[in-house]
């Protein structure tokens, strides 16, 4: 990530009309809405009474504080990013889609460089209760692909990439850490919490990413799975990986990171892409420390509690979200 305050005047001028920003954001800060809950209770459903008291009982900035594009706005102002932009609120796929859209902007000549960001902070009462009621939270820890897994846990955080064309990077003598090779996305269109057992949507997202990058399955050196630790999602993700890559030694090694950092929701994909790029540069596929007994429904995956070696410098990062959204991102290390 490039911070504008470290750039010289000539470089800083480039972060303007030809520089974009793409943000994968959570749906908003629900805790900013709690201020008017007492008033809702006191007005007993009388919307006129609620409206009359709202201005004096609630901070008038409550709506602006919850807008999901706040990060895009303030980062754009701080770093003078005045080019193409988008704020993507697509649950867990948001951060990954921000990277894909930023790369597309560069490909199509809409920008010379673009900052891609994913951020989320889901640990608040309303969301924790919601996920608990949906049966998605683990009782202790996250165990991707483990037979005894029983759910996921939240984390909070953010990740960012500065993407540039080869020419833009060369013009400022930038240190290039890697390359975005391609991306794909697909929906299963089966319901808010429904997941197809065969992993069809994720398999199509993977196929789209490979086609976008002009790569074959054998070119992928490691897979960073979504691996959220829920029973159905992990099993269907394993099915999608088997569909696209086969099993055993024919398939690339697989890992997952949510056991270590939790589920960052909108930030998950981009943070895991950052970690994947670092792992590729170190020539290592980190193990899944909470894996002791692979679920037979996930059989065929080359996933291990021990570190493995990537078979190339290309990583595939997978993410899935509510309403059947799936995204896949291919990056390579330099």
188 and 54 fall within a common domain: no
Report residue 287 as tokens.
């193990």
In a domain, 292, yes or no: yes
Contact 132, 212 (CB under 8 A): no
- Residue 120 inside a domain? The answer is no
Tokens of 298: 């996930």
Q: Would you say residue 112 lies in a domain?
A: no
Give the 3-state secondary structure of residue 310. Answer: coil
Cα 200 from Cα 241, distance rounded (Å): 10
User: Which pLDDT belongs to residue 28?
Assistant: 64
Is 197 found in the same domain as 324? Answer: yes
pLDDT for position 175: 94
- CATH of residue 314's domain is 3.40.47.10
Does residue 81 sit within a domain? no
Q: Which tokens in the block code for residue 332?
A: 């390579």
CB-count exposure of residue 303 (10 Å: 0-12, 13-18, 19+): buried
Question: Residue 10: its pLDDT value, please?
Answer: 56
pLDDT at 30: 67
Asked whether residue 55 is assigned to any structural domain, the reply reads yes
Which residues 6+ apart lie within 8 Å of 238 measured at CB? 145, 199, 297, 298, 299, 300, 301
Q: Is residue 114 part of a domain?
A: no
Does 272 fall in a domain? yes
Domain boundary among 12, 39, 64: 64
The domain of 239 spans 179-333
Low-confidence ranges of the chain (pLDDT < 70): 1-16, 28-32
What count of residues does the chain have?
334
For the CA atoms of 165, 171, 174, 178, the dihedral, rounded to the nearest 10 degrees, stands at 20
Pairing of the two strands 85-88 and 19-25: parallel
Asked whether 24 and 268 are in contact (CB, 8 A), the reply is no
- Please indicate, yes or no, whether the overall pTM of this predicted structure exceeds 0.85: yes
**14, 46, 64 - which closes a domain:** 64
Q: What is the dihedral of CA 297, 300, 306, 310, to 10 degrees?
A: -140
pLDDT at 59: 78
User: Where a domain ends, among 9, 44, 64?
Assistant: 64
Is residue 14 situated within a structural domain? no
Domain count for the chain: 2
Distance, CA of 329 to CA of 6 (rounded, Å): 29
């Amino acid at each position: 990530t490039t911070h504008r305050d470290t750039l010289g005047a000539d470089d800083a001028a480039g972060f303007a009309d030809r520089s974009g920003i793409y943000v994968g954001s959570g749906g908003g800060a629900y805790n900013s809405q709690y201020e008017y809950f007492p008033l809702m209770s006191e007005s007993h459903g009388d919307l006129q009474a609620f409206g009359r008291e709202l201005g004096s009982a609630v901070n008038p900035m409550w709506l602006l504080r919850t807008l999901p594009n706040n990060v895009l706005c303030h980062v754009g102002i701080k770093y003078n990013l005045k080019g193409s932009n988008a704020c993507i609120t697509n649950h867990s796929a948001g951060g990954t889609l921000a990277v894909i859209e930023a790369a597309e902007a560069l490909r199509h000549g809409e920008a010379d460089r673009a900052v891609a960001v994913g951020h989320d902070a889901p640990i608040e009462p309303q969301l924790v209760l919601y996920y608990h009621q949906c049966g998605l939270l683990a009782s202790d820890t996250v165990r991707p692909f483990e037979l005894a897994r029983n759910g996921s846990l939240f984390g909070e955080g953010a990740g960012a990439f500065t993407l540039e064309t080869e020419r833009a990077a060369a013009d400022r003598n930038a240190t290039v850490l890697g390359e975005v090779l391609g991306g794909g996305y697909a929906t299963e269109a089966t319901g808010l919490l429904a997941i197809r057992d065969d992993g069809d949507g994720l398999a199509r997202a993977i196929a789209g990413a490979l086609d976008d990058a002009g790569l074959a399955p054998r070119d992928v050196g490691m897979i960073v799975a979504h691996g959220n630790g829920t029973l159905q999602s992990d099993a269907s993700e394993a099915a999608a990986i088997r569909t696209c890559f086969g099993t055993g030694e024919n398939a690339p090694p697989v890992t997952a990171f949510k056991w270590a950092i939790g589920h960052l929701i909108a930030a998950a994909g981009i943070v895991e892409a950052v970690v994947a790029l670092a792992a590729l540069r170190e020539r290592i596929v980190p193990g899944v420390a909470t894996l002791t007994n692979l679920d037979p429904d996930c059989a065929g995956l080359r996933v291990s509690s021990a570190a493995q070696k990537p078979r190339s410098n290309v990583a595939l990062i997978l993410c899935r979200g509510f309403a059947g959204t799936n995204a896949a991102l291919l990056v390579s290390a330099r």
